[in-house]
Structure 1
């Protein structure tokens, strides 16, 4: 009888400890899960803040570039047209006055075009492919080097914010090529399929040794910007063989 009582006591005691263990385990799992939720939430907030900061910086840089361009155009182009218009309108000859009026209309068109460029809403009105063609067209008009563009696959479907980031990265990549590579050809290829979109910016210039040190802060910043929009930036370069920069956006980031 005593043995049965002892066995029952041991069973109850073991059951109590087992229940205590299960309750403790559940509490620990709930706390752990809650901590993971907090960490994930903090990570999401951090990524969101980085994304918003990237967009703000990109918009600021593009506006600064546009303002610089507008300043040059006002000084070199519109200013010259105004001087010519003034000379023609001051003439006593009817044909010269007529030419002056034509110049005034041209000046109005130029100023309207410059005014439109100050508003970044133009980004929504063009595709990334159209922007690339426009940038390469500007470069070709300077006769700095030859240019080429290839577009394979589906048109890129991007939000205004992601398009802005890609526009800035493409601009910076072209500027780096112009400043440092001394290329005879710059080629941009856009490829998009059901899994990813890829933009390749390639030149046949001087090239450089790709390493963490040689890429510098400029390339590091471009890579960070691609990361904030869910993409990846890859660099391939060899001395004397040129450079290729690939901007890769998985389907989920498009």
Structure 2
């Protein structure tokens, strides 16, 4: 075999070997890419599952809060109206009989109003501002503390899941203020800062040292819930000067 033929065979086998290596490289890259796709798909499914679980928990908690509210209304409001109705009916005076009819009509209105809250249809029919006004009105009506709402209606356009999470977070923040802060005022302010909407809940209550680790996971859970809708939860507090919570949510693209 001549030297020229040997060189040709060497080049040929070298080319075949190189092509083989390239094929292995391509196959390995394809397999790696598919593995990454599978992992990404699994990660997306996990995120989706956690998101749906969070929303389900929020809906369940709102149902529980609604049922608790209905229980209070039945006991404190409707129960009282029925007791007054019974007392009026036991009287033979015409004016008391008329008063009993008025009480019955009031009971019917209250029951109809309560029946509407047994499902979550009210979430879609009620704006966030209206919901906050209702919550603050209930707090102030008890004589617990003064309340106020200032809003530029930045949260007027919300997806159902965004509104659900915000409603539950607001409820929890107000409950915390009532249970732990003992404030004389609770003020809520809604405004826009660039492309971000901000809902601020401030009280002038006891406050607490945020550097001290809490035994509970309430604040952490509220933060994670805001994350599920692309938002942020920020809290600041000073002992003796109150607490401020900021809920930030970017405008939907």
Q: Same fold (TM over 0.5)?
A: yes
| Mapped partners of 2:153, 2:127: distance in 1 | 14
| Mapped partners of 1:125, 1:179: distance in 2 | 29
**Equivalent pair of 1:156/1:197 in contact (CA under 8 Å):** no
Q: State the 4+ residue runs in structure 1 displaced beyond 3 angstroms.
A: 152-156
Q: Paired residue for 1:8?
A: 8
For the residue of structure 1 that corresponds to 2:48, the secondary structure is helix
User: How large is the Cα RMSD of the aligned pairs?
Assistant: 2.1
Q: Which consecutive residues of structure 1, in runs of 5 or more, have no partner in the other structure?
A: none
| Mapped partners of 2:192, 2:32: distance in 1 | 41
1:1-254 aligned at under 5 Å gives the runs 2-152=2-152, 154-192=154-192, 195-211=195-211, 213-214=213-214, 216-252=216-252
**Equivalent pair of 1:156/1:192 in contact (CA under 8 Å):** no
Distance change in 2, residues 1:84/1:143 (3 Å): closer
Alpha-carbon shift at residue 194 of structure 1 (Å): 6.1
**Equivalent pair of 1:47/1:228 in contact (CA under 8 Å):** no
Alpha-carbon shift at residue 10 of structure 1 (Å): 2.5
C-alpha distance after superposition, 1:119-165 (max 9, x if no partner): 21001001112211221122222232222222236443212222111
For the residue of structure 1 that corresponds to 2:217, the secondary structure is helix
**Equivalent pair of 1:153/1:193 in contact (CA under 8 Å):** no
TM-score (norm 1): 0.90
TM-score (norm 2): 0.90
Alpha-carbon shift at residue 197 of structure 1 (Å): 2.1
Alpha-carbon shift at residue 215 of structure 1 (Å): 7.3
Distance change in 2, residues 1:49/1:105 (3 Å): same
What is the aligned length?
253
Q: Which consecutive residues of structure 2, in runs of 5 or more, have no partner in the other structure?
A: none
| Mapped partners of 1:17, 1:245: distance in 2 | 66
Alpha-carbon shift at residue 26 of structure 1 (Å): 1.6
For the residue of structure 2 that corresponds to 1:56, the secondary structure is helix
**Equivalent pair of 1:155/1:192 in contact (CA under 8 Å):** no
